[in-house]
Chain A
C-alpha cells in the first residue's frame, strides 16, 4: 500500500468540497492519486453491499438447512403418514398366529414407533438419573472448591471427552463395559433389586437399556457439567460475597448464592444433555440389543429411535419400511429441535448478562 502523507495543506483542501477547488495542478494530481488508490481498492458502495449480502446469505443458509431437512423428511415419510396417521406413534398390533402384541413387522408391513419411543425415553432417563447429580457435583467442585491449578486440566479433560466420537464410546462399551455389566453389575442388581420387577435375568448378554443408559450417561456428563460450570461462573461474585458476609458456610453460599441464581441455566444444561442423549446413535446401537419390544425389565434388550434407523435402514424391505424409518427420524428431529431450543433459551437467560465480568 503506497504511503499517504496527510500533511496540513491536503487536509485543508477537501477534495469533495466545491468551495475549495484544488489550488494547483500538482496538488490536484496528488489528490486524485489518493482517490484513484481508494477507488482501485474497491471503495464503492456496490462492492460493499454485495459483500454484505454475500455474508448474510451464508448466515441465512442455516435457516435453509433446517428447512431443507424438515422438507425432505416430511416428503419422504408421507407413505407411512397416509397409511397409519398419528397412530404410528402409539398403536400396537396383534400377531395373527401367536396372539401376542407386536409393534414392528417389516415383512407384513405393520409399523408402530412405540417401542422405539419407549427405548429412547428409558435409556435417556436412566442416563440423566446417573449423569445429573455427578455433573452438578463436578461443576460445584470446579467452580467453588477446586484449587486454581486443577481447574484448567479438569476443564480440558471434560472438553476432550465431549469431543470423542460416539463410535469410539461404542467400541469401548462393546469390549469393556458390556463384559463388566454381564459379569458383575447385572447379577448384583438382580440380587439386590430383583424384587422390584424392573430387573430380571432373562437376558444374560450384558446388552440392554441399562448398559445403553450407562454409556449415554458417560457421554453426556462432560456436556452437562461444562455448561453448568459456565452458568455458575456467570453468577456475579457479589452474590457469593453477600451470602458469605451474612455468616453462611460454603455450602450455604453455594446453595443460596449460586445454585438459586443459576438454576434456570442448570435446567437448560440438563435439557441440552437430554437432547444429546435422545439423538445419540452409534454407541446406543452397539449396546442396546436392537429388538423392537417393550419390556418392563431394564436389563432387557430394546431399541431406540436412532438405533433402529442406524440398524435397519440399509436393509429396509420395501418403501413402507423406509418411509416408517424416515418418519421416526422426523419425530426425532422435531423433538430434539424443541428440547434444544428450550435448553438454549434457558441457558441464554442466565448468561446473557455481562459474561466477562463473572471471572
Chain B
C-alpha cells in the first residue's frame, strides 16, 4: 500500500469516527431534550392546576368550574391497599424463595423467567382476565376486582426486586446465623430479610407507584364512579381512570383536573424511583458491611 492511500484511509477513519461521535451526541440530544420537555411541561401544567380543592372536593358536573378529585384519590388509595395486600406478601415470598432456597435450580430459573415475561404482558389483558374471573360471576363491577388486577400486576416487580436486594446481603451474614444454630426460617426472616428490608420496601414502593398509574386494567374492573364510594363491592373511582375520562372530555376545567392528577401520580413515581436509586447505589443495606 502506498503512503498516500494509507494517509487517505487513515483520514477517512478519523472522519468516520468524528461523524459517529457527532451522531451519537445528536441522538442523545434528540432523545433527552424532548423527554425533559415533556417532563417539565407536565410539572408546569400540573403545578398550576393543583390547589387544596383538588384534594378535598368532589368532581363538579360537566361545564362547572372548580371541584376536585377527592373521590378518585380515596378510590386509588383503596385499590392500592387491596393490591398491596395481594401483591406484597406473594412477591416478597417469591423473592425469598428465589434468593434463599432456589439459587441456581431449574425451578428458580423458570420462576424468574416467568416473572420477567409476566411483567411484559399488557395490563389490559390482565384486566380482561380478572373481569372474566371476578366481575362476570359477581355480575357487577367492583373495587375488589380492580384491586386484585393491580395486585397481580405487582407480584413480578416485587418478586424480582426483593430477590435482587436479598442477593446483595453477604453470604457471611447467613453463615453467622447458621453458626450460632438459628433455624433457617428464623435466619431468613430476622436476619437476611431484615438486612435487606430498606431495599425490599423501596422495591414494593416502585411496584406500588407503577400500578398506581395503571389505567387499562381498571376500565372493566373498577369502572370508575362519579360519587363518593368506599365500598369494596361497588364500582370505585381511581385517579388514572379519572385522568383518562377528563382528558378525552371537551371541558377545559376537567382538563385542568387531569393535569393536576397527572402531577400527583408523577410525584409518587419520582419519589419511588429516587428511593430505589438511593438504596441500590448508596448501599443503605445496614449491617451488610
Contact = CB atoms under 8 A, between A and B. Distances in A.
Q: Do chains A and B stick together as partners?
A: yes
A300 B90 CA distance: 45
Interface stretch (A36-44, A82-90, A94-102, A111-119): A36-44
Contacts of A75: 132
A250 B17 contact: yes
Given A163-B209, A165-B213, A279-B125, A251 B17 contact: yes
Interface in B27-86: 27-28, 30-32, 34-36, 38-39, 41-42
Nearest to A162: B273
A38 B180 CA distance: 10
Which one of B14, B17, B125, B215 has the greatest number of beta carbons of chain A within 10 Å?
B125
Across the A-B interface, give the 10 residue pairs with the lowest CB-CB distance, nearest first. Answer: A165-B213, A137-B27, A279-B122, A58-B93, A340-B120, A51-B185, A249-B17, A59-B97, A55-B97, A281-B216
A175 interface: yes
Interface in B159-214: 159, 180-186, 188, 206, 209-210, 212-214
Interface in A41-58: 41-44, 47-48, 50-52, 54-58
A51 B91 CA distance: 15
Interface string A52-71: 10111111111101101100
A225 B121 CA distance: 20
Query: Mostly helix, strand, loop or mixed at chain B's interface?
Result: helix
B277 to A, nearest CB: 6
A332 B122 contact: yes
Contacts, number: 283
B138 to A, nearest CB: 14
Contacts of B255: 175
Contacts of B16: 249, 251
A65 B216 contact: no
Contacts of B113: 341, 344
A168 B97 contact: no
Range, interface on chain B: 35 or more
Contacts of A52: 101, 184-185
A233 B283 CA distance: 21
A247 B119 CA distance: 44
B288 interface: no
B120 A62 contact: no
Which one of A161, A176, A282 has the greatest number of beta carbons of chain B within 10 Å?
A282
Contacts of B180: 4
Interface stretch (A121-129, A191-199, A270-278): A270-278
Interface in A225-260: 225, 249-252, 254
Given A137-B31, A172-B38, A344-B116, 17 more contacts: A41-B183, A50-B185, A58-B92, A58-B159, A59-B159, A62-B155, A76-B128, A138-B28, A160-B273, A218-B35, A221-B31, A221-B35, A279-B121, A310-B216, A314-B223, A336-B122, A341-B113
Contacts of A325: 128
B1 interface: no
Nearest to B262: A168
B35 to A, nearest CB: 5
B39 A160 contact: yes
Contacts of B122: 278-281, 306, 332-333, 336
Interface string B105-121: 00110110111111111
Interface string A285-316: 01000000000000000000010011001100
Contacts of A306: 122, 124, 216
A93 interface: no
Contact of B23 (A4, A137, A154, A314): A137
B133 A72 contact: yes
A43 B240 CA distance: 48
B265 interface: yes
11 contacts: A42-B186, A48-B184, A56-B97, A59-B97, A59-B107, A165-B210, A172-B38, A225-B31, A281-B123, A325-B128, A336-B121
